[in-house]
Amino acid sequence: MATALVTGAGRGLGAAFAARLARDGHDLVLLDVEEDAVERVAGAARGLGRTVEVLVADLTDEKDLAAVEQRLGDRERPVDLLVNNAGVQGEGQFVGVDVGRLQAEIDTNITAVMRLTRAALPAMIERRRGAVVNVASFAGYLAGRGDAYAASKSWVLSFTDTVAASLTGTGVRALALCVGQLQVRMRPAPEGASRSGLDPDAVVDKCLADLVRGRTLSVPGWRYRAVVDALELPRRTLRTAARLAGRGR
């Protein structure tokens, strides 16, 4: 039975990943800083007959982060899929944000993603199977807007692209999920409340389908995809030129 570890699994996109993976037959390791929220998600997965381990952890805390790294490196309890979903979104221009808040964004959106990916990969490469999904954001293409969140998600996109290239021939995959605005689910929904935005379940379906297809970037929503395709075209052209130049040496 395959096992998936999902960070930020207590609500939103993380909960949607957990639900879909449980339906697909995965056992789960679910991580969140909010115990009550993640236990509700775990209970639903257990109701489907899945084995679920809950880790209550704050990825900005060195001790907690090290414990998750250790779990990912456990060869006796292998993790086949890592979903780095946990994130911190700040508000405001860089110079106007409290340094502590900026550090929390870096610790969660960058440091934890890097370290958990690094912790998961050796065992996956040994088994010649496994995958890492790093949740980025459409904001990563808008780093010029001046906030640290956009910059951190731009890093996730570049980092995942680099990791994916390094994994060629290993049987292990890496994919960046570039998410736009998600629907906010409220029960019961206020009268007249907007349901605009991407449905989290549809986002997860698209992401996992792209992972199976061997893609390294998943962009749900045709409007977002059209913009990203236009922005990625120069990079693809440069990569092709670089490969051709390398062959000519």
Q: Which residues are CB-neighbours of 152 under 8 A, at least 6 positions away?
A: 105, 106, 109, 110
* Catalytic residue (one of 138, 141, 149, 155): 149
Distance CA 84, CA 60 (A): 14
Q: Is 141 a catalytic residue?
A: no
- Residues 40-64, buried b or exposed e (16+ Cβ, 10 A)? ebbeebeeeebebebbebbbbeeeb
- Other CB atoms within 10 Å distance of the CB of residue 66: 13
Best CA proximity match to 59, nearest among 33, 80, 92? 33
Strand pairing of 130-135 and 81-84?
Answer: parallel
Question: What SS3 state is found at 92?
Answer: coil
Distance CA 7, CA 77 (A): 17
Instruction: Write out the two tokens for 148.
Output: 């640290």
- Other CB atoms within 10 Å distance of the CB of residue 242: 10
Q: Which residues are catalytic?
A: 149
